[in-house]
Each structure stands twice: as structure tokens, then as C-alpha cells.
Amino acid sequence: MFREMRRKRQILSEEDTISVMKRCTNGILACLGDEGYPYAVPLSYVYFNDKIYFHSAKAGHKIDAILNNPKVSFAVVDEDTVISKEYTTYFRSVIVFGKARIAESDERLEAFKALVEKYSGDQPEESKDKEISGCTQACIIAIDVDHMTGKESIEYARAKR
């Protein structure tokens, strides 16, 4: 159903791919937007329980697109170092395909806690709890991952051998 990566020597292991997803702090969500145009939006996320979670306003282009067609793609770039003398970059990235949905009940709460912990882990517990309980204007979106691949530049792949 999903294409195989052509450059198999550059595929990241599942462990390395998950590490990239946990380490990065922002990604690009791509979905089908208004009038059939692709809609790609940068956002903060957390990779938690083998899913991607992010917060969203309850109304707007992003939520409308997801509710209209839940199939999405999500991409993160872990590294992208320009090597000018080689006319290239040394990179590491991940691409995910999945279906987005609104997280409810306990899942919403656990994902919200994971988001707050990732981005505000150094704050007092009381402050984090207050943020979570006081936020009623946002919904939490889950992406159930159907396919995820990581890739790195050939130079990084060669260095591992």
C-alpha cells in the first residue's frame, strides 16, 4: 500500500526513527485542504504511545481538513546540515502516513499531559496541572500511524558501518 524507499541503505532503523520522533519538537502536518489544495502546517507535537498528538483550535482550516478527510502525512526534520563544498546537506528525517482524529476522554488527558511534559517539563507540577485543566478551547488530535519511515543522508549511513 505504501511505497518502498528507493535508497534502502539510507533507511533508519525503527529504533532510530522513533528516537527522531521523540527528539524533534516540530513537524509539518499535510492534509487535503479547501478546494482540493494540499494544506501543510507546521506544529508542535508529541510522539506518545506510538501515535502523534498535537493540539488544535476547535475551528479552522486544520480541523476542517481533518474532519473532511482524516488521511494525513506528517514530516519532521531532525538534522539538515549544509555541506557547501559538496553542494548538499547531511540530513535525518521521518515521514509518517496515518489517519487523524479527535482524541477523547482519558486518551485526550494522557496526550495533553504528554504534550505539556514535553514542552514544559521544567515547570512545577501545580502549574502543569492548572494548564491542562484550564485549557478548554483546544482539542487534542491523534494521528494513528499506518506507515512511518526514517531516512538519513548517505554520509551518515556510511559512517555507521
Please determine, for residue 51, whether its predicted confidence score (pLDDT) is greater than 90. Answer: yes
For 87-108, b where at least 16 C-beta lie within 10 A, e where not — what string? Answer: eeebbbbbbbbbebebbeeebb
Q: Provide the pairing of β-strand 51-57 with 138-152.
A: antiparallel
> Which pLDDT does position 129 carry in this prediction?
79
Map out the domains of the chain as residue ranges.
8-153
Distance from C-alpha of 159 to C-alpha of 101, rounded to nearest angstrom? 39
Distance from C-alpha of 9 to C-alpha of 4, rounded to nearest angstrom? 12
**Domain 8-153 carries which CATH code?**
2.30.110.10
Q: How wide is the angle at C-alpha 63 spanned by C-alphas 35 and 18, nearest 5°? A: 110
Please determine, for residue 65, whether its predicted confidence score (pLDDT) is greater than 80. Answer: yes
In this prediction, residue 138 has a pLDDT band, given cuts at 50, 70 and 90, of confident
Q: Whole-model pTM?
A: 0.91
What is the average pLDDT value for the chain, to the nearest integer? 91
In this prediction, residue 70 has a pLDDT band, given cuts at 50, 70 and 90, of very high
**Residues 7-32 pLDDT 10s:** 777 889 999 999 999 999 999 999 99
> Which pLDDT does position 1 carry in this prediction?
79
For 131-159, b where at least 16 C-beta lie within 10 A, e where not — what string? Answer: eeeeeeeebbbbbebeebbbbbbeebbee
> Which pLDDT does position 96 carry in this prediction?
98
Q: Which residues contact 122 (CB under 8 A, 6 or more apart)?
A: none
**Residues 140-151 pLDDT 10s:** 999 999 999 999
